[in-house]
Chains A and B, each alone.
Chain A
Amino acid sequence: MGRIIVDGVSKHYADRRGTPVRALDAVNLAIEEQEIACIVGPSGCGKSTLLNLIAGFDTPSTGEISVDGVQVRGAGPDRIVVFQSPSLFPWLTARENVILGPRKRGVPASRYEEDARTMLASVGLEHFASRYPYELSGGMRQRLQIARALVNHPRVLLMDEPFAALDFQNRLAMQELVMRLWSRIHPTIFFITHDVEEAIFLGDRVYVMTASPGRIKATITVPFAKPRSIEVVTSPGFVAIKDQVLRLIRGEFARSDRAAEQAGAERSG
């Protein structure tokens, strides 16, 4: 459960002057069940655009996306997004945030209350159930978002730079948490990040994207079996993969810098 197929998907936006922006261009992906797929790439290459299409917040200009063979039409609790920016409901307590989805969908109270307790405990927030989001730290809020996502038993978890705003130690703890939760629940995870080490630690595959138009430039398969412990990041195999990914990204940055320079030259010339 949770096989994502992205088939020839393009997404075009029109900017304010009406010039089309090719945010995504003929992207193909096959993410297997229970796989963790990490996406890295320069800012503006269309990572969030792709995630929003899989989530169903938006529709592709061309191509098709399906999950378990069913075409994506609109958002739903089988594909839950963990956002980078605040998306918890600030007027609800931690517990109320977690149970909102199942409660509104008519899940019996006995079940979602039990689920919510388990989920809050598994992200270490069991003692903060009646706190409001503004009373939680940044890391706690992201953990709460994860609990709110998992309580819906999603087949797919879509995470858009969920830990980008956290400090290094917190980020490590969160990565281990994701690994731990995955080994218990086995959802398919689509994970966007700027942090190469995070991508390789979590990912079965790391997809490197290129900018304008947004494309998948390379796919790196990470051979370590899951669940992984954080020590893996210092192993020679890990370092070699990191080296490879960094080189791909650096090439991509150089390319997008040149493109920007060219665009600048054209504008001033």
Chain B
Amino acid sequence: MNDLDPQIEDGTGLRVAPALAEIKLSVAARTRPRPVWLGEVRYTLLSAATIIILLGLWALVTNLFHIPAMVLPSPQSILRHFRTMLLEGYAGHPLWEHVLVSVLRTLTGFSIGVTLAIPLGLWMGYSRTVNAILWPVFGFIRPIPPIAYIPLAILWFGIGEFSKVLLIFVASFNFTVLASAAGMRAVPEQLIRAGTNLGLSRWQMFVSVMLPAAMPQIFTGIKTSIAVSWAVMVAAELIAAQIGLGFIIEDAGTFFRTPEVMIGVAIIGAIGLVFEATVVAIERRVLHWQAKG
């Protein structure tokens, strides 16, 4: 390139030869913002596509090859069994009763656990003395999977309702108590100072500053608790129950009734999702201020 070559001034004020200028233009074209293809909807469509493809594969495989229904029933056979279950129930109880019993067991244990755990956890987080007294107990219990208590609960309290609710209670209590204590300890020093400065009494400080500030962690504890409670409920019903979703999958499994097992599992998953979504929705409302700083 010499001074006699035609020169083009581009937007950056640099002089570039024509060939170079063309390359720059094409680069610019490629980095131009992509047209928004259907906007946000396209991600939903992609997710839907995954589901449809998986269902399609399942239908294809089960209908084209001779796969024993005991191993993998076809979608239409699942639907048929589901219809029968809806109409005739399972093991002498209507399907909704199985669902209701499981949900009630879970919610009973969960709500008693959470109701007792939040104040106790907050107290542990507030007072080092209380924490020192109680920590060894909860610190020891924390890493034990709640399912490990099932044999003990049956030995001590039998296979009745009390054992199951107790297990769920223990699970949700443990997670919530520790989360609440952690939340209390994590209240920003600056907010406590601001409260003291405004002349709040100890009780006012607790209610108006420390409790709301600990709310995010309390909610984390509640979210974990509801998920774990549901899991423990299923485990407890697997072992000893005459009714409930855990009973359905255990009973159906024993008699090689794979469609019923799969239906039970699907219902358990769906209700788990509903629980989680409910807690998240409440959390969004209560903790909207957490959106940003």
- A binding-site residues for B, Cβ under 8 Å: 55, 57, 74-77, 79-81, 83, 85-91, 100-101, 104-105, 132-134, 148, 152
Residues of B contacting A152 in the complex (Cβ-Cβ under 8 angstroms): 198-199
User: In the complex, which of the residues A87, A88, A132 contacts B193, with contact meaning CB atoms closer than 8 Å?
Assistant: A87
A83-B190, A86-B190, A89-B212 known; A77+B197 contact, CB < 8 A: yes
A91-B289, A100-B198, A104-B204 known; A75+B212 contact, CB < 8 A: no
Q: Report if B208 contacts A (CB, 8 A).
A: yes
Q: 0/1 per residue, B186-227, Cβ < 8 Å to A? A: 000011011011111100100011001101000000000000
Question: Dominant SS at the B interface?
Answer: helix
Contact sample, A vs B, 22 pairs, CB 8 Å cutoff: A75-B193, A75-B196, A76-B199, A80-B197, A81-B193, A83-B190, A83-B193, A87-B194, A89-B194, A89-B209, A90-B289, A90-B290, A91-B212, A91-B289, A100-B198, A101-B198, A104-B208, A105-B198, A105-B199, A133-B293, A134-B291, A152-B198
CA distance A245 to B293 in the complex (A): 37
CA distance A206 to B91 in the complex (A): 86
- B binding-site residues for A, Cβ under 8 Å: 190-191, 193-194, 196-201, 204, 208-209, 212-213, 215, 288-293
Question: Dominant SS at the A interface?
Answer: loop
Residues of B contacting A132 in the complex (Cβ-Cβ under 8 angstroms): 288-289
The answer to whether A83 and B208 have CB atoms under 8 Å apart is no
Report, nearest first, the 8 A-B pairs whose CB atoms are least far apart. A101-B198, A77-B199, A134-B292, A87-B194, A75-B196, A90-B289, A87-B190, A91-B212
Residues of B contacting A100 in the complex (Cβ-Cβ under 8 angstroms): 198, 200, 208
Number of A-B contacts (CB under 8 A): 67
Could you tell me the distance in whole angstroms from the C-beta of A191 to the nearest C-beta in chain B? 17
Could you tell me the distance in whole angstroms from the C-beta of B215 to the nearest C-beta in chain A? 8
Residues of A contacting B198 in the complex (Cβ-Cβ under 8 angstroms): 77, 80, 100-101, 104-105, 148, 152
Could you tell me the distance in whole angstroms from the C-beta of A38 to the nearest C-beta in chain B? 21
CA distance A81 to B191 in the complex (A): 12
CA distance A86 to B161 in the complex (A): 50
Residues of A contacting B290 in the complex (Cβ-Cβ under 8 angstroms): 90
Specify the chain B residue showing the minimal Cβ separation from A132. B289
A104-B200, A104-B204, A134-B289 known; A83+B212 contact, CB < 8 A: no
Which one of B190, B194, B199, B204 has the greatest number of beta carbons of chain A within 10 Å?
Answer: B194
Could you tell me the distance in whole angstroms from the C-beta of B83 to the nearest C-beta in chain A? 49
Specify the chain A residue showing the minimal Cβ separation from B205. A104
User: In the complex, which of the residues B191, B200, B288 contacts A87, with contact meaning CB atoms closer than 8 Å?
Assistant: B191
Residues of A contacting B204 in the complex (Cβ-Cβ under 8 angstroms): 104
Specify the chain B residue showing the minimal Cβ separation from A134. B292
Task: Beyond A77-B197, A100-B198, list 7 extra A-B contacts (CB 8 Å).
Answer: A75-B196, A76-B199, A81-B194, A88-B194, A90-B289, A101-B199, A104-B199
